Each structure stands twice: as structure tokens, then as C-alpha cells.
Amino acid sequence: MSNALVFCSFDAGRDGIPAGAEEVLTLARKIAAARGVDLDWLVVGAKPAAVDEIAARHGVAHVDQIDDAKLAEASPDLLVAALAGYVSQHSPGLLMMTQTFDARLIAPRLAGRVGAGVVMNVVDLEDTGGGVKATSTAYGGDTRVEYDIAGAAVVGVVADPLLPEPASSSSSPESRSVAVDLGGVDERIQVVQKASTEGPRLEDAQIIVAGGRGLQESENYALVERLAEALGGMAGASRPIVDDGWTDTAHQVGLTGKITRPVLYLAAGISGASQHMVGCTAAKTLVAINTDPDAAIFKYAQYGIVGDCLEVLPALTKAVKGG
């Protein structure tokens, strides 16, 4: 079927599937059904083992793969060229990707290359009969904007506010190998240093204790780390204290940090700015400790402690340790 809707993954996470893939597939299935077109999944690079099973659960018709040796170390110029090659062969009506750092870099360039519309930060999509209405966040999550796009489009979807639903249909996806010519591509972006990806990731943590500027001094970040350790979780941080070097960027939660979805998120001395909340509102239970009873974070928290986190954090650590 032509003008299929294509979910594209090229930045597989540690388990091989990009975080939020199933949420985006759920949304993609809705649009594909409204249009009466196939939903396909394009994997650029090595195909993670779980792709076929997940694709089948979401009614995917074809699992396409571009597996060129040059893509082993995925680089933006190569990815844009590979995707543009795919688009010229398959002419998808809509190409969706989970919004990651790489997607931000690639989607606009791809759209420019193939003459398609592009919308990033998408949280919902509706078919308009030939086009699509994309609802997207703007100004760091403070507002929402609706775009009407006629014709083909590339969209980066923020999977976080979406919920994966059990697939209503199942399929036996056909695997197709797609060849594209990457011979003439010169990678202009050189990676000179990679952030360490050793150890557990904040995005996967079930329990996070995060600290903000209310901790007052860098030494007090240890109070957050101690409670996180006692609870068997990980320590998170708001951006200002990362900027000030109290901890490293791997711990930053929020719009320009990590998007987390723990069972428990405990925020100590964090005001609740929208840019921070983007990274933790998917938590099942949010607990806030703040001296200001009117702090914005209490609007999001299921449990609030109005108090000094320099006193409350050690008391909680002691209680958890049974002291």
C-alpha cells in the first residue's frame, strides 16, 4: 500500500528498543487506521531482537531495515541520507520518530531534504483527511500549539504524555531489506568524546530522589544521594545545580535532561518549573519537600511535605534504614 505511515527507529536504547516506541506506535496505529493505510516500522542499522514481536502486537504490516555497515556508528549525515533514500523509494505519508536528541538533529534536516513538513515536540496527532493536525508543546512545555500540515510530514513525538494501549489488532509483519546508497556521504559531525553510558540509567530507575537549589550548598547534595541509596534508587537533580557542578549532567531531570518515569519521584528543594516537570510528571507517585507551601511542585505532588529538606532528607534516610 502506498503512502504508508512509517515509525522509524535509529537510536535504539540499551534494550534495543527506543524508550517510548510502543506509545508512538499506539498513536501511529490510530492515524494509519483513520487513513486506511499500512503502518510500517523502519529500523535504521542493526535490528533489535524484540522489534518483530512488538511490531506484530501493534499491527505493523512491514518491518523495513536499512542495514548498511556504515550505519554501525550512526552519524547524523549518514542517517539523514539513509532516511532520505528510504523516503524517495517508499514515499511515506507520515514518518514518525520518538523525540530524542538525535531526532531533533535529524528530523528537520530530513524534512528539508525531502520537501516535507516537520513538527517536533508532538504530543498528539489527528488525521485531517489527506493531512494531519499535530499538537505540540512549546516554550518549554508551558503552552501547546496546533499545526495543520497538508501532505507528507516528519514528526518527532514526545512519548511521555502518551499511554501505550494494548494493540487491538495483531499482524505477521513482513520483513523487507531496503538498500540505499550511502557511498558519497561525508560525515561532517565528528564525535570527539562520548558521555559515559556505563551503569544504570536515570531513565530506567524505579525510584528517584532529586534535589534542587533548595539544598542551598553543593555538599548537601549528598543528603539526596544518601536517601536515594537507602531506597535502592538513583539521585536526580534540577538543572541549576547541574549547571553549578554539584553533580553531572547524567543526573539532570527535565526538558534538557532526562525524561524519567519512576514508580516514586521524591523532589527536595525543587520549585516545580515546567521545564523540570517535563522530566518527572510520568512518575506514578510524586512526593515534594519544599519550605514554600505555594511552590508550584505541590500542584503535581500526591504527597507534600512543607519543611526544610536539610532536615527532612536525613530524617527519611534514618527512617528507611530503620534507625
Ligand X SMILES: Cc1cc2nc3c(=O)[nH]c(=O)nc-3n(C[C@H](O)[C@H](O)[C@H](O)COP(=O)(O)OP(=O)(O)OC[C@H]3O[C@@H](n4cnc5c(N)ncnc54)[C@H](O)[C@@H]3O)c2cc1C
Point out which residues bind ligand X (CB under 6 A).
140, 212-214, 238-240, 252-257, 269-271, 273, 275-276, 279, 289-292, 295, 308-310
| Closer by beta carbon to ligand X, 10 or else 246 | 246
| Closer by beta carbon to ligand X, 178 or else 309 | 309
| Closer by beta carbon to ligand X, 74 or else 310 | 310
| Closer by beta carbon to ligand X, 98 or else 137 | 137
Q: How far is the CB of 295 from ligand X (least distance, A)?
A: 4
Q: How far is the CB of 252 from ligand X (least distance, A)?
A: 6
Q: How far is the CB of 42 from ligand X (least distance, A)?
A: 29
Q: How far is the CB of 305 from ligand X (least distance, A)?
A: 9
Q: Among candidates 287, 292, 257, 255, which has minimal Cα distance to 271?
A: 292
Q: How far is the CB of 146 from ligand X (least distance, A)?
A: 21
| Closer by beta carbon to ligand X, 20 or else 269 | 269
| Closer by beta carbon to ligand X, 152 or else 259 | 259
Q: Among candidates 274, 278, 308, which has minimal Cα distance to 293?
A: 308
| Closer by beta carbon to ligand X, 126 or else 225 | 225
Q: How far is the CB of 299 from ligand X (least distance, A)?
A: 12
Q: How far is the CB of 88 from ligand X (least distance, A)?
A: 35
